[in-house]
Amino acid sequence: MTIHTTLLNSMPELVAIRRDLHEHPELGLEEVRTSDVIARHLESYGYKVTRGLAKTGLVATLTNGTGRRSLGIRADIDALPIHEETGLAYASKTPGKMHACGHDGHTAMLLGAAKAIAERRNFDGTVHLIFQPAEENFGGAKIMVEEGLFEKFPCDAVFALHNEPNLPFGQFALREGPIMAAVDEARITVNGVGGHGAEPQETLDPIVCGASIVMALQTIVSRNIHPLDPTVVTVGSFHAGSASNIIPSRAEIVVGIRSFDPAVRDELERRIRLIAERQAESYGMSAAVNYQRFYDATVNHKAETDLVRDLATRFAGADKVVDLERPFMGSEDFAYMLKARPGTYFFLGGSTGGNDRSLHHPGYNFNDDLLPVGAAFWTELAEHYLRAA
């Protein structure tokens, strides 16, 4: 694995940036300080920085030579609403907010690459570095695309990575086609008639009806969807009632849904609505379903996936590059950039070999040793894609 001297010398700076961002996490569309820090560094490296896309997002542009090709590399910058439990000296200073997914690391890696690309000038064309807000909640990628990201900053291809603490350190994991699932949510409200728990015959109990709905929902994946179509239907929340002697008038059920195929996605919505409404009807009640479609499936393009695979093999060695047998059921709003432009999304292993916590865990911490690896690969990718004559 080749790490440029420039990047090795930048390690103290990258670590300092990463830990500063970790100390000051900001949630989606609130990343004002984070954007200020990013912009300050990028401008010092000589980039033209455009701010304000998706409120707190920014794009850094650098052109060299006369080439007409251009590429985009994205890093997500937002944190999560999680109370940190790492005990680190640089732990979050904002209670209830934490960089529990490594976006602080993604940002620092791309800043490291930005500095190396600018200093080396070993490319012919235009580099657009996209620092995207609100990946975790509000679909910042979709907002940026809708606000004209690729009209203002044309990209022949776009790329993004995500650290994965459960993969061996420095391992590249990629996949052509679907790599992350579409995610939807159904909020089901069962409307009954409340009353005294001692006289259930005078009520219409939404808890009993809700329990029946929960059990019936389990049949969708097992009986309505083809066994080879990856699908998840999870009842993550069921709220009703306040005491043992009170039958409430309503129950609320929240369901998480993940899929890949658009036709399967449609069938899931149809079946969830039908089950909720008909089960409630059979109990003499009604059910309202608020169904929201969130992120689409993240689908990688073949040519760009092949490029990353070949480049990663040269960069890290064949033993450090794996093709995933199946996609992840998590979701990612980079999907919207991939719908607008060719590109690929991949994982970079960051295991420390110790007691690594998973992403979104309150004890998770990004592995700083991964910073020069990610930064060096982004530099290699930019220089390879925009080869100088």
Q: Which residues are catalytic?
A: 78, 135
Instruction: Kindly calculate the radius of gyration of the chain based on its CA atoms and give it in whole angstroms.
Output: 24
- C-alpha span between 200 and 178 (Å, rounded): 49
